[in-house]
């Protein structure tokens, strides 16, 4: 809200500052004002810092600072941080956190160099401006935030692979989750040592990116407002880019409001699933969706247990996945109904905006800046719940198991 953060006289109103801050720290990317014109360089820097903090995770960042200052961690810090980064043990927390920081900075630095070179040499931007654009978009993409310093987001660079592909690479890597990144860093050439979590995330990522690219590209191939005017290599590039960003990052290289209704529905599903756990991605997570898929598959086959990649799933995992998915559906439905009741927007854009906020994606059909304050507060709540809620809820279920000294008699209702 400081006047020095906003272009023009005076400071930003509370609701605009609050919405932007929440969207930044929840690495969402939804905006109610035009980022490059509304905020000054100082305001953009504040957004960048919040994105980095949100991507690391509050406890992760606090623990890293503690390690740097006092060179050790308390048991309480180890316990809380191990929950956030999904570590299997307490003894390796310090090593894991430092690994997370190193990986983050290396990837962000590499993407920044590629983008800086392209903006400088390819588009004639002055080197300082090109470096700032490279840094901002590298951090925004790796942390799956989707904030851009262009009024049309990435639409002007939709057919430039030297801009789009580095952004996609950073988004995909950040969306894998730190446990997967850490394991691949150690055992990339030995798949036999990969955990079920790593296998599910990698399998799910490749499958969803492929299906998403085909779905978006085919449905929008002849749409004159999106892919229609482009040649076929550019159509594939834009389709792939939008499939990657729909998963959780939120950059857009086409006008989302001009997409076909069927395309938006498919993107709703991709956004709701999200990326890998314990990383910068949002949604219910690939692992949750995969567990539900294998539960259904086992039920259809008539199998008594659920087996995944040669291992048996615990019954507790079944319950956690179902609980997280149903709770997430309930939150999105309630928020969508609230937006519809207080505005004139119909189900399509209202649902899209709600899922985008809950899954911390940041894509928008264009209605977010025009929502009343009540609608924007709903999106703020969704971003916070989406960033913390499903993970916190699943963790609470995992830590709150109790054994009863008795069992009630069984009875089965009719299902289906």
The domains of the chain are located at 3-399
pLDDT tens digits, 299-318: 999 888 999 988 898 888 88
- Confidence (pLDDT) at 64: 54
pLDDT reading at 90 higher than 50: no
Output the pLDDT for position 320. Answer: 85
pLDDT tens digits along 397-411: 555 556 778 888 988
pLDDT band at residue 200 using 50, 70 and 90 as cut-offs:
very high
Residues 6+ apart with CB under 8 A from 158: 164, 230, 234, 237, 238, 241, 253, 254
15-27 pLDDT, tens digit per residue, is 999 999 999 999 9
- C-alpha separations of 283 from 25, 374, 377 in Å: 16, 23, 19
* Pairwise CA distance, residues 87 & 197, whole Å: 12
Strands (E), 210-350: 307-308, 311-312
Q: Kindly tell me the number of DSSP H helices and DSSP E strands found in the chain.
A: 16, 2
Helix, strand or coil for residue 53?
A: helix
Residues with Cβ within 8 Å of residue 143, at least 6 apart in sequence: 27, 51, 52, 54, 55, 174, 280
pLDDT in tens, 230-280: 999 999 999 999 999 998 888 999 999 999 999 999 999 999 999 988 777
């Amino acid at each position: 809200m400081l006047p020095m953060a906003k272009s023009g006289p005076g400071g930003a109103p509370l609701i605009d500052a609050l919405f932007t801050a929440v969207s930044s720290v929840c690495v969402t990317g939804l905006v109610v004002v035009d980022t490059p014109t509304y905020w000054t360089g100082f305001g953009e820097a504040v957004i960048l810092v919040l994105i980095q903090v949100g991507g690391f995770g509050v406890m992760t960042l606090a623990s890293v600072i503690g390690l740097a200052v006092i060179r050790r961690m308390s048991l309480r810090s180890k316990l809380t941080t191990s929950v956030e980064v999904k570590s299997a043990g307490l003894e390796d927390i310090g090593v894991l956190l430092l690994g997370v920081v190193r990986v983050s900075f290396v990837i962000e630095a590499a993407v920044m160099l590629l983008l800086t070179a392209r903006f400088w040499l390819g588009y004639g931007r002055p080197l300082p401006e090109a470096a700032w654009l490279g840094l901002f978009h590298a951090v925004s993409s790796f942390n799956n935030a989707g904030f851009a310093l262009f009024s049309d987001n990435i639409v002007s660079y939709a057919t430039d692979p030297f801009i789009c592909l580095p952004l996609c690479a950073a988004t995909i890597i950040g969306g894998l989750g730190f446990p997967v990144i850490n394991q691949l860093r150690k055992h990339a050439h030995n798949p036999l040592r990969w955990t079920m979590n790593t296998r599910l995330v990698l399998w799910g990522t490749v499958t969803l990116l492929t299906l998403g690219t085909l779905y978006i590209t085919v449905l929008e191939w002849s749409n004159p407002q999106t892919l229609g005017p482009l040649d076929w290599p550019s159509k594939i590039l834009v389709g792939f880019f939008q499939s990657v960003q729909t998963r959780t990052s939120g950059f857009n290289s086409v006008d989302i409001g001009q997409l076909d209704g069927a395309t938006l529905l498919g993107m709703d599903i991709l956004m709701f699933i999200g990326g890998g756990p314990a990383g910068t991605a949002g949604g219910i997570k690939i692992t949750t969706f995969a567990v539900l898929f294998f539960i259904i598959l086992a039920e259809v086959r008539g199998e008594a247990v659920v087996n995944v990649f040669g291992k048996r799933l615990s019954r507790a995992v079944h319950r956690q996945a179902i609980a997280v998915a149903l709770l997430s559906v309930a939150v999105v439905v309630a928020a969508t109904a609230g937006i519809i009741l207080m505005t004139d927007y119909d189900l399509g854009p209202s649902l899209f905006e709600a899922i985008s906020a809950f899954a911390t994606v940041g894509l928008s059909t264009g209605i977010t800046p025009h929502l009343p304050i009540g609608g924007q507060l709903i999106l703020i709540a969704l971003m916070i719940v989406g960033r913390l809620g499903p993970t916190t809820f699943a963790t609470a279920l995992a830590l709150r198991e109790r054994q009863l000294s008795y069992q009630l008699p069984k009875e089965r209702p009719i299902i289906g």
